[in-house]
Structure 1
């Protein structure tokens, strides 16, 4: 309701719409998440209208199979 998880909110989540918005590239979902976070941290999503201003950290959460494997990676920038 308060928009805290939207772009411009306190904690933006899935600013590009998440993996379903990407067509859920099976087998490449983790790579798609990592790519987006790196672009966000570099400030390179401006042209898409989904740039999170001042992004300093990002998190990927990827499950494999029937949740048999889980991988969480936290990304950040220095300075």
Structure 2
């Protein structure tokens, strides 16, 4: 799930488009909205609050692209 859509869902914002409430596939990187630093921060907080323990939190953050890669870039913000 895209971080932006996750955050909107947590805040009661826009409805997620797609089949059965699932997000649609991105058509291209040029059209994809950028994920802001604030959205990343809020997503990390949401993940941490719902995680069972530190290992669970680390795995979830990695799956969502919220942990920096070798170059220090977040996959969620590419």
Same fold per TM (> 0.5)?
A: no
State TM-score, norm by structure 1. Answer: 0.29
Would you tell me which structure has more strand in proportion to its own residues? 1
Which structure has the highest helix share of the two? 2
TM-score when normalising by structure 2: 0.29
Work out which structure has the larger RCO, using CA pairs closer than 8 Å and 6 or more positions apart in sequence.
2
